[in-house]
Amino acid sequence: MAERFTKADWEREHLLAGFDRLHDRLTAWARSAPAWPPFDEARGLVERLDARLRVPEIDLDRALVVGFLGGSGTGKSTLFNALLGRKVSRAGKEFRPMTRRAVVACHPDVDPSFLGLRDDELEIHRLNIPLLEQVILIDCPDPDTQDPEDGRGGERHLDILRAALPHCDVMVHTATSQKYKSHVVGQELRRNAPGRQILFIQTHADVDHDVRADLRVYLDSLGLRVPEVFLLDAADALARQERGEPVAADFARFRDLLEHELASRARHRIRRANLLGLYGWLLGAIRGPVDAGMEAVAKLEEATARERARLAATIAAKMSERVDANRRLWRSRVLRQLNQTWGAGPLAALLGAWSAAGSLVRSLVLLRARTPTQAILAGGWTAVSLVGEKWRENRAAAALTAEADLGLTEGDLAHARTVLQGYLNDAWIHPEPGEDGGDFSAEQLATVAVEVYRRLDAEINEVVEKRVARRAGGTTHWVFETAFALLPAWLVLHLARNFFYDHMIYNKPLLGLDFAVQAAFWCILWGAVVGGLLLRRLNRGLHQELKLVVDRLAHAPVLDALCRDASEACLAVRAHAEALSAVERDLADLERRVGGVLDLGLGALRTESLATSRPEVQ
């Protein structure tokens, strides 16, 4: 191909690529949506409108299709004829309705079959006049004389109107002082506004009052953007043309706008603007229910967080109570840790003996420990695992334990479950029950309980280790060992002096068994004092730290496993709703590049009212 691409061509291709991308992104978004009613609705809408959303349509070098919409007797046919400069469509006041079929005026070269209307629904006039090289005019039947209940047989001109209008790029809305506020016409106008531009005209200018100000207010209340309302008298314009006189300035301006400004120069721009308008409407129509649904989803998330927090608070209160009630248990854990850290040394040995004696007691405590928390405070997870096989094996049993120990009852769960079920229904979220729980069942609570205990153990371990490392490090060890060793050292010195010096040299009697017993007694006492000081140092503030642990645990996401499925479904919906914003940004970007059609004096549906009207869907 020896085509040369000009800059304009490149820009055009670039723009079309933008449309392609918008279409692809929207369809991809609609297809990949998670199951959620507003998304399903969006998918349906996108599928239904797909034919109109496809790009090639907008850049066909086709004539601009202009349709007429207005009440019976507002001069649609007269205006149609006046634009053509001859009587083509039957106009007049003898009958109402006058136009019962779609009257199409087009150039002999144009094939109007793309309108898709049946032969008995339209009459085609092929005229070789310059205007029709650029536009196709469709004179439509009126929307206000057919009774919805008795439109039988060939009388369905309202249906013909509704079949013809979707093919129009531009609608010409005619109104008169008698009919401009007609409810039926207003509804029809709004129904067909998405995705097309509108020219507003007050006809019968020569006989009626100028009501354009009030007309503008009314159109505005319908959600339409109204840059200009033309005031024309088409009957007069036609008469003048037939007499060979020049038409009135207003009419000439209108005809010029339609023929030159719109149809030849801005044709592609209008089509693109229409397509963007349709996208805008579609995204608005999708956005409305999605936003409404997201409110419910947000409520669900809030409720989930609230229920979890409520349960966590109960757990924290109960555990805090347990920490208070079992001081002795966690102190013995500190002692054990100290033993492991210090290893050798006289004081260490003494404390080791102390601990060993204590472990006997502790094992009794472990056996007696009624709850996992008590067991963890005393011996740690491993010990619990050994001792508490019976409640770890069986999840249902664990739930019972959890009930007693975590302070959560089946009633609390029923409460949370029921409330969340309500919010789930409100948000139309129905998570599939997963393989591994994730709901609000007692089994799930057992899993949570195990997790809580594991973390509690780990945290306590860490607190104790850190504490021992910080408060009973090498220096402390040395100082305390030294302090403790002073008495035995002095005693040994005393014994040595007694044996080597007093006894061997001066032959004084040896210190008897009495002394040894006394010395041992004082050593142990001294050891107890020093050890006590040490443990005091170690245990000071431990209570607060354990409370902090419980507090941390209460805020930790241990309860996230409860109702996880629903949270995940919420997140998926939220993420997908946010992905819609990306499509909206694409659209805004494209709109910026295409530019508006406001400068052409064309009206359309205002963007904020896009969501509330429904288009004629092919």
Partner 1 sequence: MAMGTDEAMDYATWSRRVIDLAEALSRLTARAEAAGLPAPQAAWRANLYQKLVPQASDAPYLIVAVAGGANMGKSTVFNHLVGHPASRVHHNAAETKHPVALLPRGFADRHDLAKVFPGFSLQPWTSEDDAVAEGRHDGLIWREDPSGAQPANLVLLDTPDVDAALPNNWKLAEAITHSADVVVALLTQQKYNDEKIRRFFRIAADADKTVLAVVNMVEWPDDRDHCRGWLTTFARGTGANPLHAYAVPRDRAAARDGRLPFHPLSPLATDPRADLAELHFADIKIRSLRGALRQALDPDEGIPAHLRDLERQSDENRQARAVIHQKVQVKVDLPRPPGHVVAEEIWRWLEPRRTWFDRKVHGAYGALGRAVARWLPGAVEPAEDEARFLAEEKTQLSRALETIYNDLEAVHRVGAPALRRELQPLIAGDQRRRAFEELQARLDAAPLATESYRRAIAERLETFEAEHPRMMRAIEWGLVATAVARPALTIGMFGAADVASGPLFQAGGHAIGQVFFDVAAGSALTAGGEGAFARLAGPARALIGDLFAAFYRERAELLARVVDDCVVGRHLDRIERLAALGESPDFQTAYKLAAELSRELDALEEPPPVAAAAARGG
Give the interface with partner 1 as residue ranges (CB under 8 A). Answer: 71-74, 93-97, 144-148, 176-184, 186, 207, 209, 211, 214, 218, 221, 299-300, 303, 409-412, 414-415, 417-426
| Pair type for strands 170-175 and 64-70 | parallel
Residue 4 or 93: which CB sits closer to partner 1? 93
Residue 125 or 162: which CB sits closer to partner 1? 162
**Distance between CA atoms of residues 36 and 569, nearest Å:** 9
Residue 376 or 420: which CB sits closer to partner 1? 420
Residue 181 or 253: which CB sits closer to partner 1? 181
Residue 96 or 470: which CB sits closer to partner 1? 96
User: Two tokens at 465?
Assistant: 């280790």
229-231: strand order across its sheet: 122-126, 102-106, 135-139, 64-70, 170-175, 197-202, 229-231
Least Å distance between CB 410 and partner 1?
A: 5
Residue 4 or 152: which CB sits closer to partner 1? 152
**Distance between CA atoms of residues 262 and 131, nearest Å:** 11
Least Å distance between CB 190 and partner 1?
A: 11
Least Å distance between CB 208 and partner 1?
A: 8
Least Å distance between CB 606 and partner 1?
A: 17
**Distance between CA atoms of residues 171 and 198, nearest Å:** 5
Q: Is-contact 240 246, C-beta < 8 A?
A: yes
Least Å distance between CB 317 and partner 1?
A: 14
Least Å distance between CB 159 and partner 1?
A: 14
Least Å distance between CB 183 and partner 1?
A: 5
Residue 440 or 526: which CB sits closer to partner 1? 440
Q: What is the DSSP letter of 436?
A: T
**Distance between CA atoms of residues 10 and 7, nearest Å:** 5
Least Å distance between CB 166 and partner 1?
A: 22
Residue 298 or 598: which CB sits closer to partner 1? 298
| Torsion angle in degrees (nearest 10) through CA of 132, 204, 139, 69 | 120
| Torsion angle in degrees (nearest 10) through CA of 292, 184, 254, 196 | 30
Query: Which three-class secondary structure state does DSSP give residue 125?
Result: strand
Please provide the size of the chain in residues: 618
Least Å distance between CB 200 and partner 1?
A: 15
Residue 186 or 438: which CB sits closer to partner 1? 186
Least Å distance between CB 457 and partner 1?
A: 27
Least Å distance between CB 147 and partner 1?
A: 5
Residue 57 or 426: which CB sits closer to partner 1? 426
Q: Is-contact 137 591, C-beta < 8 A?
A: no
**Distance between CA atoms of residues 383 and 354, nearest Å:** 20
> CA nearest 303: which of 406, 409, 410, 422?
422
**Distance between CA atoms of residues 168 and 188, nearest Å:** 14
Long-range contacts of 453-456 (CB under 8 A, 24+ apart): 453/372, 453/373, 453/376, 453/381, 453/384, 454/381, 455/553, 455/556, 455/558, 456/319, 456/373, 456/376, 456/549, 456/550, 456/553
Residue 123 or 412: which CB sits closer to partner 1? 412
| Ramachandran area for residue 449 (φ above 0: left; ψ -120 to 50: alpha; else beta) | alpha
